[in-house]
Amino acid sequence: MYAIVTYDIPEDKRRTKIHNILKSYGQWVQYSVFQCDLTQTQYAQLRSRLAKLIKADTDSIRFYFLCGCCQGKIERIGGEMPRDDTIFLI
């Protein structure tokens, strides 16, 4: 299943944790937006991991599921893809 995942997390530390979890399931396309191609099992795992981290009274995570036909209609105009400025030292 193809999903667009958006999040609004006011606390920096928790938002970073959410971002890092989502990076392992999909592609970061805008600052609080990921696109993910997930199996049912991956979706269940992702949803469970995220649910354990959020504060339901202040945080919001949304999943928008797109059918195969709708995926072909995604259009992007302008803007650069977000960069992950994480530095890895070896």
Residue 25, Cα to own-chain centre: how many angstroms?
A: 8
15-74 pLDDT per residue, tens: 999 999 999 999 999 889 999 999 999 999 999 999 999 999 999 999 999 887 777 777
Considering the segment(s) 2-71 as one domain, its CATH architecture is 2-Layer Sandwich (3.30)
Q: Read off the pLDDT band of 88 (50, 70, 90).
A: very low
Higher pLDDT, 67 or 5: 5
Residue pair 34/63 in contact by the 8 Å Cβ criterion: no
Would you call 80 exposed, middle or buried from its count of C-beta atoms within 10 A (0-12, 13-18, 19+)? exposed
Residue with the two structure tokens 């805008």: 30
Residue pair 73/81 in contact by the 8 Å Cβ criterion: no
pTM above 0.85, yes or no: no
- Amino acid 87: pLDDT: 47
Residue pair 3/66 in contact by the 8 Å Cβ criterion: yes
